Amino acid sequence: MMLITIKCNFEALLKYEYDYQAKHKTMKRIAIFASGSGSNAQKIIEYFRDNKEIEVTLVLSNNKGAYVLERAVAMDIPAYVFNRQLFYETEEVHDILRDIGIDYIVLAGFLWLVPENLLKSWPNHIINIHPALLPKFGGKGMYGDKVHQAVIEAGEKETGITIHYVNEKYDEGEIIFQKVFKILPNDTPESIAEKIHALEHTHFPAVIEQLVDKIDKK
């Protein structure tokens, strides 16, 4: 049921946009990719809701059960679900983003590598958020509480968030922004996750805005 709603929304958007965007596009458009809950996606959507220059145009997910899809629909943002074959072996996702005039791709809890066709068409316009201080504690399989568990086991004194450009490897693109906090003796993976999320929600939308501003004023 939910997927039908999503698909209808999305097709209506594409049809409308095809002609419109070439003539009138002034807004910078963001597509958010997310695989799970989507609390960051929600904060970003809320942050730009009344912005005159930047909008979240589409939410995409590789996971048809992801809660981010419900959040998107509830906030009237079209959502699109794809599978591995579509993403890596066809141009479908690429062409959708191109056809609706996406300028920036934001990964917010997206667990797959970004394919080369997207990296080529959006150079330096794809960013990710990671719940640790890269270059440590990144890479394949490093997501969610596994990251915080590894940070605690390594005896780190501090952790934080990293926002970085995306390249062909997991969590290795150039770092744009980091925010650090001290780990307390009684911190657990859960308590760290909570603090990380709060930091992400505060900083991610603002960093996106600054980045768009900086790139577009070049």
Hey, what amino acid is at 17?
A: E
For ligand GRF, the nearest residue by Cβ is 109
From the CB of 43, what's the least distance to ligand GRF, in Å?
8
Interface with ligand GRF (CB under 6 A): 34, 36-41, 108-109, 129-131, 143, 196-197, 200
Query: Which sign does the torsion angle of CA 43, 208, 170, 136 carry?
Result: negative
Hey, what amino acid is at 34?
A: A
Q: Which is nearer to ligand GRF, 40 or 62 (CB)?
A: 40
CB 7 within 8 A of CB 72: no
Q: Count of CB atoms within 10 A of residue 62's CB?
A: 18
Q: Which is nearer to ligand GRF, 101 or 181 (CB)?
A: 181
Give the span between the Cα atoms of 8 and 77, in whole angstroms.
Answer: 12
Of the candidates 44, 80, 86, 77, the one whose C-alpha atom is nearest the C-alpha of residue 211 is 44
Query: 153, exposed or middle or buried, with CB in 10 Å at 0-12, 13-18, 19+?
Result: exposed
Give the span between the Cα atoms of 163 and 127, in whole angstroms.
Answer: 7
The set of catalytic residues is 130
From the CB of 177, what's the least distance to ligand GRF, in Å?
12
Q: Which is nearer to ligand GRF, 9 or 128 (CB)?
A: 128
From the CB of 7, what's the least distance to ligand GRF, in Å?
22
CB 74 within 8 A of CB 41: no
From the CB of 115, what's the least distance to ligand GRF, in Å?
18
From the CB of 91, what's the least distance to ligand GRF, in Å?
26
Q: Which is nearer to ligand GRF, 17 or 208 (CB)?
A: 208
Task: For the chain, list the strands marked E by DSSP.
Answer: 28-33, 54-61, 79-81, 104-107, 126-130, 158-165, 175-182
Q: Which is nearer to ligand GRF, 17 or 129 (CB)?
A: 129
